[in-house]
Amino acid sequence: MEDGLVTTRRVVLIAMVAALYVVLTIGIAPLSFGPVQFRVSEALKVLVLFDPFLALGIGIGTFLANLASPFVGPWELIWMPLTDILGGLLAWWSYKMLRKAVLSSTVYAITTALSVAVMLQAMGIDWFWFSLLSVGASELAILIGGIPLMLPLRKWIDECR
């Protein structure tokens, strides 16, 4: 099947990733929100390495999950979903070029951590370095930990395209 083709199966897969992201994020709230956060759902970001369209699922999931955030607003509903989509595309491109899942996951972790730190700074929460390091560390741990969990799904994702 052509890789760039949008199929019904791919749209369903995007929706499933978004739904899983929402459930896993809201399921462990309040840990999922705030200057210090931990989202198990971030492990799903590894799936983007295999299909760039899944970045849309992560972005949609982020938008919907952030509706439950105590910090809900334009930053949480526009900035972070866009960051997740663009960071996912960057991670996918990195993986496509280098075939190094850990390195590509690190790229994604850095873009997410930097975006959270910038967002909080813009919101007047002066924890830039703390949030950069704490979100970065949790993102990196979850993404790298998610690699062995998500690799078995690669064949299934390929079939859904």
Write out pLDDT tens, residues 4-18: 678 888 999 999 999
Percent of the chain with pLDDT over 90: 57
pTM for this predicted structure: 0.90
Check whether 38 has a pLDDT greater than 90: no
Confidence of residue 26 (pLDDT cuts 50, 70, 90): very high
**Using CA atoms, how far apart are residues 144 and 136, in angstroms rounded to an integer?**
12
**Using CA atoms, how far apart are residues 28 and 133, in angstroms rounded to an integer?**
21
Averaged over 122-131, what is the pLDDT? 86
**Using CA atoms, how far apart are residues 140 and 26, in angstroms rounded to an integer?**
20
Domain ranges of the chain: 8-160
Averaged over 10-29, what is the pLDDT? 96
Averaged over 71-88, what is the pLDDT? 92
Confidence of residue 35 (pLDDT cuts 50, 70, 90): low
Structural tokens at position 24: 């896993």
Averaged over 136-155, what is the pLDDT? 88
Q: Which helix (H) or strand (E) holds 110?
A: helix 101-122
Averaged over 97-115, what is the pLDDT? 94
CB-count exposure of residue 42 (10 Å: 0-12, 13-18, 19+): buried
DSSP single-letter state for residue 28: T
CA-to-CA separations, 60 to 16, 66, 122, 124, in angstroms, rounded: 11, 10, 23, 26
Q: Which of 114, 106, 6, 16 is nearest to 98 (CA)?
A: 106
Mean pLDDT (the chain, rounded): 90
Determine the pLDDT at residue 27. Answer: 95
CB-count exposure of residue 26 (10 Å: 0-12, 13-18, 19+): middle
Averaged over 112-117, what is the pLDDT? 91
Which of the following CATH numbers is that of domain 8-160: 3.30.1330.10, 3.10.20.70, 1.10.1760.20, 1.50.10.100? Answer: 1.10.1760.20
Check whether 80 has a pLDDT greater than 50: yes
CA 32 to chain CA centroid, nearest Å: 13
Check whether 46 has a pLDDT greater than 50: yes
